[in-house]
């Protein structure tokens, strides 16, 4: 096991393995998203009924909100591993995860606002802790990326951004539990709850398809970004030079 992990941490080995994994993640991911969009829009009922068509945005909103938090935890954990064990590949993962996480966080905020207008009567409610903490998450992503770009020395940028990511991780449980312990107008979880999901059973297949599909696509995009980050960081090494000079420039 340790031998496998040690080998996986090797940039050349990871670069080759990621190239193999990307299509295996992307293909089923996009197929699940296509299925989820079609069934969610044209087959499954709108729930709650009184929200009409706007309720169907749940399929995109839930998946993007989930990935906004998962993406930050990947960034924070990878940054922490890189900081403690000085693993360059972990820092590459953290740096690559930030733009993707910010994108899904922005999508979650936009879809939530679109859903909020007909439901709450407003696009935004500053008194809601779930909305504010999710917005703070977006700012943490922006701060992480700004900090990295402001420091020219890659090693120093890795350490400083890792500390910021770890400190900001305290916001993740706040986002999740704010609807339970704080005065929030946002609904509680409809999936992970005692007694099973509370939404219409016909909505579960497309909803789970979207969540899994988004996750698989996120994984494929993350691997693509990490491969580019690895090449940038290892550009002066022999294996990258050999890769560039090899036929087709692939390995």
pLDDT bin (cut points 50, 70, 90) of residue 61 is: very high
At 118, the pLDDT band (50, 70, 90 cuts) reads confident
Torsion of CA 32, 61, 111, 31, to 10 degrees: 0
Is the pTM of the predicted complex or chain greater than 0.75?
yes
Instruction: State the average pLDDT over residues 111-128.
Output: 87
Of residues 52 and 82, more confidence is placed in: 82
Rounded CA-CA distance 110/107 in Å is 5
- Report how far residue 108's alpha carbon sits from residue 68's, in angstroms, rounded to the nearest whole number: 8
Q: What's the mean pLDDT in 217-237?
A: 94
Q: What is the pLDDT of residue 48?
A: 57
Per-residue confidence band for 162, with pLDDT thresholds at 50, 70 and 90: very high
Q: What is the pLDDT of residue 195?
A: 60
> Between 232 and 182, whose confidence is greater?
232
Residue 28 clears pLDDT 90, i.e. is over it = yes
Between the alpha carbon of residue 62 and those of residues 45, 107, 196, the distances in Å are 17, 10, 17
């Amino acid at each position: 096991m340790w031998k496998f992990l040690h080998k996986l941490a090797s940039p050349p080995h990871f670069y080759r393995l990621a190239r193999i994994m990307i299509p295996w993640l992307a293909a089923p991911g996009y197929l699940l998203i296509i299925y989820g969009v079609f069934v969610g829009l044209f087959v499954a009922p709108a729930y709650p009924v009184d929200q009409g068509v706007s309720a169907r945005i749940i399929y995109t909103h839930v998946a993007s909100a989930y990935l906004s938090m998962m993406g930050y935890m990947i960034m924070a954990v990878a940054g922490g591993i890189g900081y403690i064990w000085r693993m360059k590949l972990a820092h590459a993962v953290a740096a690559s995860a930030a733009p993707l996480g910010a994108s899904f966080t922005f999508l979650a905020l936009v879809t939530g606002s679109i859903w909020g207008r007909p439901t709450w009567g407003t696009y935004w409610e500053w008194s809601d802790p779930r909305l504010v903490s999710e917005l703070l998450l977006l700012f943490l992503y922006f701060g992480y990326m700004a900090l990295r770009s402001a420091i020219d020395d890659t090693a120093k940028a890795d350490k400083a951004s890792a500390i910021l990511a770890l400190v900001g991780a305290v916001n993740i449980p706040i986002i999740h539990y704010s609807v339970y312990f704080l005065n929030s107008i946002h609904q509680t979880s409809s999936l992970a709850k005692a007694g099973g999901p509370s939404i219409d059973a016909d909505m579960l297949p497309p909803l789970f398809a979207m969540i899994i599909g988004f996750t698989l696509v996120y994984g494929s995009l993350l691997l693509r970004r990490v491969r580019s980050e690895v090449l940038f960081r290892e550009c002066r090494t022999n294996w990258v030079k050999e890769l560039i000079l090899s036929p087709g420039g692939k390995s």
